[in-house]
Every structure is written in C-alpha cells, then in structure tokens.
Amino acid sequence: MGYLTKSSVLWDKKYDKDGNYSKFTTKKGFGIGDYWREYFKGIENLKETTISELTLFRLNMENSPFKEGTDLIEIKMFLKESNSKTLKEKRTTDFIDYAILISNSYNQTPIEELENR
C-alpha cells in the first residue's frame, strides 16, 4: 500500500460537454495520507521513521506492531465517522504486508495532457 505525505495528487480530469478532455485539477490536501481533514491512523509512525523521500516498510515481521490494531487502514475524517466499525476485530496485516511512504511528490499528469503536447 502506498501513502503520500507533503505531496500533490491528481484530483480529477475535466471534460467539455462533448466529452473531450479539457484540463485536470490537483490537490495538496485530500488524497494524501496525512491531510488534517482526512488521514490514515498511524501514518505518523511511518513519518517518524522514514529514511528518504521513498521508504519501504515491512509490516508483517514477527514482532511487528502492525499485527495488532488498525494503523494504516483506518481512515480518520474531520466531522465524519471513520471506517473503524468496518474494521472491528481486524488488524493491519490482514490487509497489507508492506507500506511505502512517498514524500514531496508531484501530482501525476493525465495521459490526455501528454497527448496534447
């Protein structure tokens, strides 16, 4: 599973009334792993131990703290209910074995944008 921090993401693509691509939009908040209004529980643990702008974490090791709890799969949202009820009695390693933290990345560029160059 990939998580972003201090990054920008492609948010959506815009089309005209005939369905032709016209432009794209980006966001620097929603869509990354640690935006204050929407974030993954426990992402701070990754950020504190990262060693570069691209760090791979093995979560399923023998004494891993991710074998208990819902860090990195539970989403916390401002003024909205999280997915904690859905994850009851689940743990992170039920879903993911490795996590990659990507820092300071730029948004992707839609292929339609590249075709217009």
| pLDDT bucket at 12, cuts 50 / 70 / 90 | very high
Residues found in the chain: 117
In Å, the largest CA–CA distance within the chain is: 56
| Residues 99 and 59: beta-carbon distance below 8 Å | yes
- pLDDT tens column, 76-117: 988 998 898 999 999 999 999 999 999 999 888 899 988 766
Distance CA 46, CA 55 (A): 9
DSSP for 21-80, written as a single string: EEEEEEESSTTSTEETTEEETTHHHHHHH--SSEEEEE--STT-GGGSS-TTTPEEETTB
DSSP 8-state assignment for residue 114 = H
Domain segments of the chain as ranges = 2-107
Residue 117: the pLDDT is 64
Tokens at 90, concatenated: 């689940």
User: Residue 36: is its pLDDT beyond 90?
Assistant: no
